[in-house]
Structures are given as C-alpha cells and as structure tokens.
Amino acid sequence: MKIIRQKKDLKNFIKSKNTISFVPTMGGLHKGHEQLIKQAKNKKQTLVVSIFVNPKQFNSKKDFSSYPRNLKKDINLLNKLKVDCLYYPNYKDIFNFKTKNKIYLHPFSKKLCGKFRPGHFEGVLNVVNRFLEIIKPKFLYLGKKDFQQLILIKKHILNKQIDTTIVPCETIRFKKFLPFSSRNIHLNNNEINSAIKIFKLIKNEKYEIKKNKIKNISLNKLKHQIYDLGIKKIEYIDAINIKKLKIAKKYNENFKIFCAFYINKVRLIDNI
C-alpha cells in the first residue's frame, strides 16, 4: 500500500488510474470501517482510504484531542485489506487551496445532530468537498450509521452536480446491537452493556410501532425506559421519515428512529 501525505503526490498517483473508489475515515479503524473497505474492494477499482481527524467538525478542543488515534494499527489493517493507497494528510494539505465548489448545506443539517452540534456539518462538508475535488472518486463509500451525514453529502453532490456515486453501507454492530464506533474504546464493560440494552429497546420500539399500527408515534415511553437505565442525557430521539426528512407520525411511513445520547462522557449516535 502506498502511503501518501501530500495532495500533489496523490494526484500523481491517481493520474494513471481509471476509476477511483474512496473511503474517507478519521482512523481508529474498526469492523464498521472494515466493512466499507471490503465492499469497496469488491468493485475492483483503485481504492483510496483517507485518515484525517477533521478539527472543523468537532465542537470542543477536548473532544478533538481525545479522539482515538492509532496510526500503526490502522496501517496494519489497511495493508491486510490490500488497500491501494492511504491518504494521510496534515491540516495544511487539506485547507491551503481554494475549492471550485462552495458547500451546499441542505436544511436537514439543522435537525438532529445539527441542533446540538453547531457548525458540525459545515465542517464535515468542507472537508468532504475538498476530498472530492482532490480525488474525484467515481464511488464514495459511506456508512448508514451516520445517516444524516450521508444524506447531507448526497444533497451536496446532487446540488453541485459532482460526478461521484455514493455507495451506502449497512451499520456493523457489536453483539448485534451496539454500532462499532471509534469512540467505543472509551466505554467500560458495564457501559457497553447499557448501550446494548438501549439499542435493543429502540429496535423493539420500532417493531411495536409497526406491529400495533400506531397512528400517532410518540417516543416518550422509550425515553423514560432509557433514563431508567441510568442514562443522564439524551440529546434527541426522533422518528424521522427518511424520504421526506421530517418527523414521522404513522407506522406505515418509511421511518427510522434516530438517537444521540451520552453514556457518562461518551456520545453515541445511531439510527434503527
């Protein structure tokens, strides 16, 4: 695997290749990332993976500095998965050029995580837009775990008529319930068990809404059940119609339950 730190070298590497598949990550690689990479490898195009912990998408310096980083372990995994190229830029390499496109922020960016993390999605799109201009990938692999992010990147690509196709990938979970996340290493065993219980409750609630043909969805009981497990802070838990991107009212809408909550100091998000 080629490890490239500068975009001029990356552009050189890409020049001779036909089609590029791209998997952007912030490192601290786990089975979720692995799934994206394996899916991308199936396409048999040249595969570029990036590792860049993007300071612009963090809301606090502390969260940024404590974000899990383990470059050596990540490189070993990427080598094992036969990735063609790791792009591991520094801050300057990403931000020292003027982009052709401005970012397009769909109003859905103000909902869910956007309500609680001001500037987060601007930060994400700023970097993704730069990656798209440097790499010009044919295929971009994104996890449904960050569903809101996936939708917003899709809206940006559509709005700017960028020639990149998003390949959405299923969420990979620990013991069938807890989504793998780089931040999970900050959880102890008890906290992991609590998180698993919460995701089970959410999955069950969705099942009950559909089974009982609920016409006026309310998630208040679910919230109380989660607080009863000792959780101190739920940021949001909402049923969202994923086509209309609005609160879902009825069981037969195409909806997912989106949530963000804290287990002690660790913020977890999911959609089921």
Q: How far is the CB of 206 from ligand AMP (least distance, A)?
A: 18
Q: Which of 4, 14, 20, 36 is close enough to bind ligand AMP by CB under 6 A?
A: 36
- Quote the Cα angle for 234-237-239, to 5°: 180
The active-site residue out of 30, 33, 120, 156 is 33
Q: Which of residues 146-165 bind ligand AMP (CB under 6 A)?
A: 146
Q: Does 145 bind ligand AMP (CB under 6 A)?
A: yes
Residue 17: phi and psi, rounded to 5, are: -100, 150
Considering only the stretches 140-148, 156-164, 190-198, 237-245, report the one whose residues sit in contact with ligand AMP under the rule CB under 6 A: 140-148
Q: Does 25 bind ligand AMP (CB under 6 A)?
A: yes
Q: Does 172 bind ligand AMP (CB under 6 A)?
A: yes
- 106 classed as catalytic: no
Radius of gyration of the chain (CA): 19
Q: Does 52 bind ligand AMP (CB under 6 A)?
A: no
- DSSP 8-class letter at 47: E
Q: Please give the full DSSP string across 100-160, using - where no structure is assigned.
A: SSPP---GGGGSTHHHHSTTHHHHHHHHHHHHHHHH--SEEEEEGGGHHHHHHHHHHHHHT
Q: Which of 9, 13, 35, 246 is close enough to bind ligand AMP by CB under 6 A?
A: 35
Considering only the stretches 89-97, 167-175, 220-228, 246-254, report the one whose residues sit in contact with ligand AMP under the rule CB under 6 A: 167-175
Q: Does 179 bind ligand AMP (CB under 6 A)?
A: yes
Q: Please give the full DSSP string across 89-102, using - where no structure is assigned.
A: --HHHHHSS--SSP
**Catalytic residue numbers?**
33
